[in-house]
Structure 1
Amino acid sequence: MVATMTAGEFLALHDRTEPSDPLVLPNVWDAVSARAFAEAGFPVLATSSAAVAAVLGYRDGGDTPPDEMFGALKRIVRSVDVPVTADIENGYGLAPVEIVERLLDAGVIGCNLEDSDAATKQLNDPVQHAEWLSEVSVAAGDRLVLNARVDTFLFGDHSVESAAKRAGLYIDAGADVIYPILAPEELLPDLANSIRRPLNALHLPGTASPSRLGSLGAARVTFGGGLQKQSSDDITELARKIGRAYGAQN
């Protein structure tokens, strides 16, 4: 299957006429989940590095070999006829040009790149990270939508000012969308006012709905690894149910 949407058309979907109607991208992890959400009518899908890593047998945060991650992306993309944007952590140590080449070879329309090291739980130097993002942006040209993740609410000082300062550097480097992951919903209006690009918000179970996040300033809402976690919990419960009935048999 081949999706025909361009990166420019995908980016244009972030321009919402109704704030409470953000672009909602379900995060998928394999061909089965991708087909399910595509058939449910979503015009674009996202992947979650944590979710893909889990089904490949790795933990999120750098353990996944890049060949396996990009192979998984290829399988997801070819299984659906809607575009896919990929979460690839901090690029798995690959050079910017190789990152872009692999993304385009996989057939994705965009990517997430984060500004921290999950193994050390440290933020990258923002100036150096911006320079690196600029190399990715130049290599990608207009072929990919670059979603720059800002991890200050994970490992930083949790302020709007700190997130906005990093976001400004990343925008100057070519970022199309800014993703201040785990930003509290009450800070979204200030973040949206401070950041001159579409804002990606993370929806977590039991928190504000995607519509509410949109009304607070998010142009795009994603789910991270939450959907795969819910699916995994459902499978675990099913396994326990079958195990209670038949697992003791020899």
Structure 2
Amino acid sequence: MNSQSEKADLLKKLHHSGKMLVLPNIWDAAGAVLLENLGYPAVATASAAIARAHGYEDGERIPFDLLLAIVAQIAKSVNVPVTVDLETGYAADNETLKSNIRRLIAAGVAGINIEDSDVRTRELLPLEEQVEKLKLIARVADRENTRLFINARTDIFLVNPGLSEDQKLALAIERARAYVGAGAGSIYPIFATGEDTIKTLVNALKVPVNILAKSDTPDLDVLQKLGVARVSFGPNLHRATLLSMEAMLKTVKETRSHYPVTTLLM
């Protein structure tokens, strides 16, 4: 499968297959190849993982040209669809956003995450502004005669700790429905973790819902039964990898032995 549009179509199909799409987000081509070799049907990146792996913090601090080079290499390294965490678009204006989307499509990217809170203030963007952004992204793909699967993230549960769960749910559903109307193929209510909350979202939206895997998130089989279509790991795989490396290298230092590393290669 070589066509970017074919991969975007497959990514969409995977969200509607009835089998939950599990995406342990990676940050380089080696991780993408590993996932493909293990039989994962798609690859997703994590913005925080890519940024921190290259000396930057999350929040669009990594230059877009560098991000693009990384994700282009990831897309080139595998045959499965690649979806990229694009934060809010790495753009201060519409022309830059259009250019970024065109360049991602040209790099073979099949899908993107796009979030609805300001990466610097952590406040929700106005609903109308986010709807127009999603429409613009969809138009760019259409004018390029391609498809691009949009996973629209809403940060209601992340940035509004003072609201009740019912208030968050109502706002999340309102935003999600508007995003679907603007061209989103799935909705990502990040930090929605409770079973009742997730079930309500799935039932209310009737579109694929993406849940973030956290320590307080129900496990995969439970999420599947709740009707979740997609599970992301966000930056957690990168964090877990670094913690594992830290423990291993502490042992090397303390024991003066290379075996904690080299026995894994035997």
- Return the TM-score normalized by structure 2: 0.86
**2:187 aligned partner:** 178
User: 2:193, 2:217 within 8 Å by CA — same for their partners in 1?
Assistant: no
- Kindly tell me the number of residue pairs found equivalent between the two proteins: 244
Instruction: Confirm or deny that 1:30 pairs with 2:40.
Output: no
CA distance in 2 between counterparts of 1:3 and 1:42 reads: 19
What is the one-letter code of the residue matched to 1:24?
A: V
**2:262 aligned partner:** none
CA distance in 2 between counterparts of 1:229 and 1:78 reads: 25
CA distance in 2 between counterparts of 1:163 and 1:62 reads: 24
What is the one-letter code of the residue matched to 1:185?
A: G
CA distance in 2 between counterparts of 1:246 and 1:70 reads: 41
Three-state SS of the structure 1 residue aligned to 2:151 is strand
Q: Deviations over 1:121-153 (max 9, x none)?
A: 111011111111110111112511001000000
User: 1:22, 1:211 within 8 Å by CA — same for their partners in 2?
Assistant: no
User: 1:149, 1:181 within 8 Å by CA — same for their partners in 2?
Assistant: yes
Give the CA deviation at 1:234.
1.1
Give the CA deviation at 1:77.
1.3
**1:152 aligned partner:** 156
Q: Deviations over 1:41-66 (max 9, x none)?
A: 00111111111111111111121111
Three-state SS of the structure 2 residue aligned to 1:117 is coil
Instruction: Confirm or deny that 1:56 pairs with 2:54.
Output: yes
- Which is further off, 143-152 or 177-186? 177-186
Instruction: Confirm or deny that 1:70 pairs with 2:65.
Output: no
Instruction: Confirm or deny that 1:214 pairs with 2:215.
Output: no
CA distance in 2 between counterparts of 1:147 and 1:191 reads: 15
**1:39 aligned partner:** 37
What is the one-letter code of the residue matched to 1:229?
A: R
Structure 2 unaligned regions, length at least 5:
258-266
Give the CA deviation at 1:162.
0.5
**1:198 aligned partner:** 208
Structure 1 unaligned regions, length at least 5:
none
Three-state SS of the structure 2 residue aligned to 1:81 is coil
Give the CA deviation at 1:2.
4.5
**2:113 aligned partner:** 112
RMSD: 1.9
User: 2:91, 2:97 within 8 Å by CA — same for their partners in 1?
Assistant: no
What is the one-letter code of the residue matched to 2:28?
A: D
Give the CA deviation at 1:246.
4.6
Q: Deviations over 1:10-63 (max 9, x none)?
A: 21111133xxx4111221111111111111000111111111111111111121
- Which is further off, 70-79 or 91-100? 91-100
Three-state SS of the structure 1 residue aligned to 2:187 is strand
Give the CA deviation at 1:81.
2.1
**2:264 aligned partner:** none
Q: Deviations over 1:159-216 (max 9, x none)?
A: 2110011111111111111100011232011111221321111112464222211211
Instruction: Confirm or deny that 1:133 pairs with 2:134.
Output: yes
What is the one-letter code of the residue matched to 1:208?
A: P
Give the CA deviation at 1:245.
3.9
The match for 2:82 among 78, 81, 84 is 84
CA distance in 2 between counterparts of 1:243 and 1:106 reads: 42
By percentage of residues, which structure has more helix? 2
Percent of aligned pairs sharing the same letter:
37
Three-state SS of the structure 1 residue aligned to 2:15 is coil
